């Protein structure tokens, strides 16, 4: 199924549509949908979104679609209302000794999106975002929220082939204040960072570089990639998500927080101990997601994990 009916319904509320030979960018007041021909790829949530004014979030991807058109992410799941699609956020944010909100749990934190643009090529398109991090706990001399960090991201969507699609993420965080630090949860799990909430079936399987992986409470050292596969969307077909942490990332290979039910999956960086981000030395994080139908061979995973 190629989401044609969804596209026809969506197009009636467009404020702008850009089109190239291969790509369609369908915009509305909430954000924009990336499509390859008639196939939906993902929706970028640009405008803040909430549930009855609570759990306000923006700057994330949902829905993320598989190459067969099935929706592979969840937003506002009943068990964890702060979980959302594909996103990157941290529990701990400090300026010096002052705590400045919790971007993971959506507490005292806002994303002020300056710009979000799409550049289209024949075999790919690139979503570029420019985002200021703000908090009601960090104000200027006039009592207005003041940006304390700037995030720029490039999300490269590659054309689908052989029943899989590659999406590459490069996230750069620049400190605008001295002594800015970010960290994961303050318990032994230390989760935060690049995260994705996907439906999990009873037959879900996790595989790492060394073979089958059994999710645990604490972070796992399982190498640079994790493959998650099963009847994820309940359509009776095997689908999967492969996530790769780039070799240039700090603390490579980063640890993984994995769950078999009702939770996020997460590349846990930096863990429970915060790390400082210097004004002159931005933090750069790179990840790859591959959505696919069926199964990936060991050889294909080896090829896809090199980028």
DSSP 177-233: STTEEEE--SSTT---EEEE-----TT-EEEETTEEE---SS-B---SEEEEEESTT
Q: Mean pLDDT for each consecutive 10-residue tract of the chain (307 residues)? A: 44 43 93 97 98 97 97 98 98 97 98 97 97 98 97 98 97 98 97 97 96 97 98 96 98 97 96 97 98 97 95
Q: In this predicted structure, what is the pLDDT of residue 11?
A: 44
31: nearest Cα among 7, 55, 14, 54: 14
pLDDT score at 98: 97
Q: Give 111: exposed, middle or buried? Use CB within 10 Å, 0-12, 13-18, 19+.
A: buried
> Quick one: which of 181, 92, 194, 93 has its CA closest to 153?
194
Residue 179, by phi and psi: left (phi above 0), alpha (psi -120 to 50) or beta?
A: left
> What domains are defined for the chain?
4-304 (2.70.98)
Cα 165 to its chain centre, rounded Å, is: 15
With left for phi above 0 and alpha for psi between -120 and 50, is residue 97 left, alpha or beta? alpha
N-terminal to C-terminal alpha carbon distance within the chain:
30
- pLDDT in the model for residue 20: 53
User: Is-contact 283 289, C-beta < 8 A?
Assistant: no
Residues 160/36, Cβ–Cβ less than 8 Å: yes
């Amino acid at each position: 199924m190629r989401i044609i009916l969804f596209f026809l319904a969506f197009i009636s509320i467009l404020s702008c549509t850009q089109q190239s030979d291969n790509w369609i960018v369908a915009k509305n007041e909430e954000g924009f949908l990336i499509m390859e021909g008639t196939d939906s790829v993902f929706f970028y949530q640009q405008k803040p979104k909430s549930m009855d004014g609570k759990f306000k979030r923006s700057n994330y991807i949902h829905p993320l679609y598989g190459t067969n058109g099935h929706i592979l992410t969840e937003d506002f799941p009943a068990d964890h209302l702060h979980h959302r699609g594909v996103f990157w956020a941290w529990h701990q944010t400090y300026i010096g000794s002052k705590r400045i909100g919790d971007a993971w749990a959506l507490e005292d934190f806002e994303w002020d999106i300056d710009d979000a643009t799409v550049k289209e090529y024949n075999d790919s398109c690139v979503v570029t975002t420019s985002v200021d991090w703000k908090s009601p706990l960090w104000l200027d001399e006039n009592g207005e929220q003041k940006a304390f960090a700037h995030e720029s991201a490039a999300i490269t969507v590659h054309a689908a082939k052989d029943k899989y699609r590659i999406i590459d993420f490069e996230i750069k965080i620049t400190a605008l204040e001295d002594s800015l630090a970010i960290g994961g949860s303050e318990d032994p799990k230390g989760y935060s960072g690049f995260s994705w909430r996907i439906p999990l079936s009873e037959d879900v399987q996790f595989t790492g570089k060394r073979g089958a992986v059994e999710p645990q409470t604490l972070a796992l050292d399982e190498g640079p990639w994790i493959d998650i596969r099963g009847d994820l969307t309940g359509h009776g077909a095997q689908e999967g998500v492969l996530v790769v942490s780039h070799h240039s990332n700090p603390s490579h290979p980063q640890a993984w927080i994995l769950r078999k039910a009702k939770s996020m999956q997460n590349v846990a960086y930096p863990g429970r101990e915060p790390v400082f981000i210097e004004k002159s030395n931005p933090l750069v994080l790179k990840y790859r997601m591959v959505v696919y139908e069926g199964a990936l061979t060991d050889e294909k995973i080896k090829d896809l994990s090199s980028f």
